[in-house]
Amino acid sequence: MRNRGAELHFQADMNSIIFHHNLICGRTRFFRRISTTLFLVLIVCLSACNRDPKKFLAKGNVSFDQGKYPEALIYYGRAIQLDPRYAEAHFKLAQTQLKLASLAAAFGELRRTVELQPDNWEAQLDLGRMQLVAGQKQEAKERAQLVLKANPANVEAQLLLSNADAALGNSTESFQEAGDAVKMQPERASTYMNLAQLQMRAGNLKDAEPNLLKAQSLEPKSVSAYLLLAGIYNRLKRGSDAEKQLHSPRYILLKGKPPRPSRS
């Protein structure tokens, strides 16, 4: 009898354990389902509520400034999804794609930007430069003229106009426009560099030399000026001067110091 009673007591304990185990597991599964449902509802709610494209643009700008370009692409893309006519988002997307070397995509976004916002002169210039590189010379020239019509003192547009005319074979106009760019910003090295490169292409090496020297004085750490001067001196059979120019960039690049005085 005692064995029978012990068996019954043991069975009752097992039934109780199984019951509580099932109860706990059931509750756990229930709460898991509830938690998953609440999480999904929260995500849907946040997505539905956060429909301000400006917020996504701002997040994209933060990512862009931090150099997180793939992340910035997502934010700018989301802003455009919410507002397909958001010109600023299209422009920022184009700039991000340029950083990622996605040139075809950037070209398309720049076109879309200027369609939506014709007075975005920075976008107009970026598009004009890409058109010039792509061989669309006349289109690049017209875009430069468009910017200059609204902003006559825009030196970037003046440089684009000069380079477009050079590509079109309009040498006289190109030299004049490059000279005008120098007059616009006489303390800017790149204007002298641009004029000098045009002169070098035309074979006017002696005219190019003073412009490169001026660019070098304005921007002593510009390796391009040293290399171009070395090229001129080589073509003019001035080997020692060319050697001096080629010696200087090593210190600039490796040590960040001004060139050492050369020994004669």
Domain limits of the chain? 52-117, 203-264
Position 186: which residue type? P
Cβ distance 179 to 192 under 8 Å?
Answer: no
Cβ distance 140 to 164 under 8 Å?
Answer: yes
Model pTM? Answer: 0.74
**33 CB burial (10 A radius; 0-12, 13-18, 19+):** exposed
Angle between helix 87-99 and helix 121-133 axes, rounded to 10 deg: 40
Q: pLDDT tens, 203-251? A: 999 999 999 999 999 998 888 899 999 999 999 999 999 988 888 766 5
The two structure tokens encoding residue 110: 């720049």
Span of 31-45, 58-72, 92-106, 129-143 with lowest mean pLDDT: 31-45
| Arithmetic mean of pLDDT over the chain | 85
According to the CATH classification, is domain 203-264 in 1.10.3470? no
52-117, CATH topology level: 1.25.40
The two structure tokens encoding residue 260: 């050492």
Higher pLDDT, 105 or 264: 105
Name the 3-class secondary structure at 129.
helix
- Given a cut of 90, whether residue 26 has pLDDT beyond it is no
The two structure tokens encoding residue 92: 């920022």
d(C-alpha 132, C-alpha 161), whole Å: 10
Q: Do the domains 52-117 and 203-264 sit in the same CATH topology, yes or no?
A: yes
d(C-alpha 228, C-alpha 235), whole Å: 11
Angle between helix 69-82 and helix 53-65 axes, rounded to 10 deg: 170
| Band of residue 25 on the pLDDT scale cut at 50, 70, 90 | low
pLDDT for res 251: 52
pLDDT for res 44: 36
pLDDT for res 37: 47
Q: pLDDT tens, 146-171? A: 999 999 999 999 999 999 999 999 99
